[in-house]
Amino acid sequence: MKRRDFLKLAAAVSVAGCATAVPSKARVVVIGGGFGGATAAKYIRLWDPSIDVVLVERESSFTSCPISNLVLGGFSSMQEITTGYEGLRRHGVQVVRDNAVAVDAAKKTVRLARGGDIAYERLIVSPGIDFNFGEVQGFEAAMNAGRVLHAWKAGAQTVELRRQLEQMRDGGVYILSIPLAPYRCPPGPYERASMVAAYFKQAKPRSKVLVLDANPDVTSKAGLFKAAWKDLYPGILEYRGNAKAIGVDAASMTVKLEVEDVKGDVLNVVPPHRAGDIALNAGLITTNNRWCDIDWRTMESKKVPGIHVLGDATLSAPGMPKSGSMANNHAKIAAAAIIEQLKGRAAVPLQIINTCYSFVSQKEAIRVSSVHQWDAGQGTLIAVKGSGGISAARSETEGTFAWNWARTIWADSLA
C-alpha cells in the first residue's frame, strides 16, 4: 500500500469511527481557466462551499476571445479583454499556475509539469482547442517564424496580428482563411473580417479584406453579415466560399487553396482544430480524432468515468455552437451534477441558453440565441422548439447588449 492510499484510508476510518471528526473534504480538480473551467470552479464553490476546488491554469490571467476581434480593429484593448484570477481565489478556489500534462484516471491523479501529482475525486477538463497544424502545409513553421498567425486563441498572437495590420501598406490585402466547421466560435471569423474592414475603411481605404472560407457559405448569421458587408464595406471586403487552405508559403506570402494560390500582405490562417492537448493526453477524445463525447446531463466523458469535459473540446450537441456562452453553461451543468454525484445522488439535467453577439462595425452588432434542453429520447441536449433566433437587424442597441454580455459573462465566470 502506498503512503497516500494509507493516509486516505486512515482518514476514512477516522471519520467512520468518530462522529465528531471533521470529514475530509471532497476535492474537484479543474484543468483550464477559460469560460468553462473558471465558471465550473466558481459555481461549485458558490453552490457547495464544503467542496475543495483546485484550478490548474497555465496563464496568470484570462484573455477573452470574445471582443478580441475588436482589439484587431483598434476598437478595444488587451487590457479590456483580460481578467485576473483573484475573483476565483475570493470564492475559495485554489488557483495553481501550472501545466497539466497527464491524467491517471485509475489512480485519480493529474500530473503537473512543475508541481508533481495532485489527487482528485472528480476531474473537470476544460482545455479549449489545439490545432491540427498538419492539415495546412507549412503553417506551423510560418507561425513559429511569426509570419503567419491564427490569433484564434486571444493573447500574444492577437497583439502581433494587430501590429501586422497597422504596419501593412495602404492598398495591401489581408487574407483570413477559415477552416471547415466545426470550429471555435462559428460567427467569429466573419466578425473578424468585419472589424478589419472597419479599420481599413477608417485608416487604409485602398486596402482589401479577402475571406477564404473552406465552408460553402457563411456558417452563422449569414444574411446579417452579408447585408452589413454590402452596406458598410463595398469594394473592401470580398468573400469566397469553398476556398479551403491546404498550405501556406511565408516566403511568397501565399495561401495555397486546392485549385489556386492567393497572395496577400497579411495572412491570417486559422487551421482546423480539435480538443486541447490534455484531452488528447488523457484519452478523452472519442470522435473523428478531434472531439470528446460526453453525457449532456453531467458533462461526464463517455469514455473515462469521473472526468467531465467542458466547452469547445466537446463533441457538440445538435445545433449547439462552440461558444463562450455554451462553455459557461456547460460548467453549470457539471457543477450541479458533481455536487449531486459527490452526495451519492443522481444529477438533474439543466436547461441552458446560448447567446452570441458579433460586431459588424465599431458600434453595431448582430446576435444569435438558442435554448437547449435535455431530451431523454434522443439522449442529448436539443434546441427547444420555437425558441431562439437572430437579430431583426444590425444595431447599436445590439452593440450595447453585446458589451453588456461580455462584461457580465467575464464577471459570471471569473468574479
Partner 1 sequence: MRVFFLAAAVLAAFPVAAQDIQGRNLAAACAICHGTDGRVPAGAPVIPLAGLPRDHIATQMRAFRDGKRPATVMHQIAKGYTDPQIDALATWFAAQKR
Q: Which residues bind partner 1 (CB under 8 A)?
A: 43, 46-47, 50, 325, 328-329, 332, 336, 348, 350-353, 355, 367, 369-371, 373, 384, 386-389, 391-392, 395, 397-398, 400-401, 404-405, 407-409, 411-412, 415
**CA torsion angle for 56, 98, 145, 242 (degrees, to 10)?**
-20
Residue nearer to partner 1 on the CB measure, 277 or 340: 340
Contact status, residue 212 vs residue 175, Cβ threshold 8 Å:
yes
Side-chain-side CA neighbours of residue 239 (13 Å): 23
Nearest to 64 by CA among 335, 302, 294, 357: 357
Contact status, residue 135 vs residue 44, Cβ threshold 8 Å:
no
Residue nearer to partner 1 on the CB measure, 255 or 352: 352
Residue nearer to partner 1 on the CB measure, 289 or 351: 351
CB 204 → partner 1: shortest distance, Å? 33
How far is the C-alpha of 42 from the C-alpha of 37, rounded, in Å? 9
Contact status, residue 304 vs residue 105, Cβ threshold 8 Å:
yes
CB 369 → partner 1: shortest distance, Å? 5
CB 351 → partner 1: shortest distance, Å? 6
CB 198 → partner 1: shortest distance, Å? 22
Q: Where are the beta strands (DSSP E) in 347-388?
A: 352-359, 365-375, 380-383
Contact status, residue 74 vs residue 158, Cβ threshold 8 Å:
no
Residue nearer to partner 1 on the CB measure, 162 or 367: 367
Mapping DSSP to helix (H, G, I), strand (E, B) and coil, where does residue 100 land? strand
Beta bridge partners of 56: 31, 96
CB 325 → partner 1: shortest distance, Å? 5
Residue nearer to partner 1 on the CB measure, 124 or 148: 124
Residue nearer to partner 1 on the CB measure, 200 or 405: 405
CB 97 → partner 1: shortest distance, Å? 24
Residue nearer to partner 1 on the CB measure, 1 or 346: 346
Contact status, residue 293 vs residue 250, Cβ threshold 8 Å:
no
Residue nearer to partner 1 on the CB measure, 99 or 369: 369
CB 391 → partner 1: shortest distance, Å? 7
Report the interhelical angle of 35-47 vs 324-342 (nearest 10°): 40
Nearest to 128 by CA among 62, 193, 81: 62
**For residue 223, what is the enclosing H or E element?**
helix 222-232
Residue nearer to partner 1 on the CB measure, 283 or 388: 388
Residue nearer to partner 1 on the CB measure, 178 or 347: 347
CB 39 → partner 1: shortest distance, Å? 9
CB 271 → partner 1: shortest distance, Å? 29
Alpha helices in 48-182, H assignment, sequence order: 68-73, 86-90, 139-144, 156-167
CB 329 → partner 1: shortest distance, Å? 6
How far is the C-alpha of 257 from the C-alpha of 156, rounded, in Å? 27
Mapping DSSP to helix (H, G, I), strand (E, B) and coil, where does residue 211 land? strand
